[in-house]
Amino acid sequence: MMMVDELLAQAHGKAVIADAGYDSNRFRAAVQSRGMKAVIGSKPERPRKLPKSRDLYAKRYLVERFFHELKCCRAIATRYEKTACSYLALVHLACARLWLEA
């Protein structure tokens, strides 16, 4: 995990919620040194599962589900738009559509 410091430099809040891909002692220590709670699923090869807040970890699933719904729009998943501005506009439209359907 070479980019830990750069990744956490952008993080603000009381907790960092991540999937098992970020489960390392170094990453957890870096999160805790910034005064945040590490809510990270344990990797299967870890001998003892580390505890996590199930309520906060459930929020990660909601975000993942949203991105899955968003990527069901073919133009967003394949980045048809040539410019970043056009792509962002398309993402905004797709988000508005998802919000209206909910």
Q: What is the pLDDT of residues 79-91, one digit of tens each?
A: 888 899 999 999 9
pLDDT the model gives residue 1: 57
CA distances from 88 to 10, 53, 62 (A): 21, 33, 21
pTM for this structure?
A: 0.69
Chain mean pLDDT for the chain: 88
* pLDDT tens profile 67-80: 999 988 888 888 88
User: Do residues 56 and 76 both lie within one domain?
Assistant: no
User: Do residues 57 and 76 both lie within one domain?
Assistant: no
CA distances from 15 to 26, 61, 63, 92, 99 (A): 16, 15, 15, 27, 26
User: Which domain range does residue 46 map to?
Assistant: 1-63
Q: What angle do CA 13, 102, 71 make, to 5 degrees?
A: 70
User: Do residues 48 and 6 both lie within one domain?
Assistant: yes
User: Do residues 46 and 87 both lie within one domain?
Assistant: no
- Look at 28-37, 51-60, 91-100 and tell me which has the smallest mean pLDDT: 51-60
Which residues make beta-bridge pairs with 17? Answer: 39
For residues 62-71, one letter each, b for 16 or more C-beta atoms within 10 angstroms of the residue's C-beta and e for the rest, the string is eeeeeeeeee
Q: Stretch 58-75: mean pLDDT, rounded?
A: 89
Domain count, the chain: 2
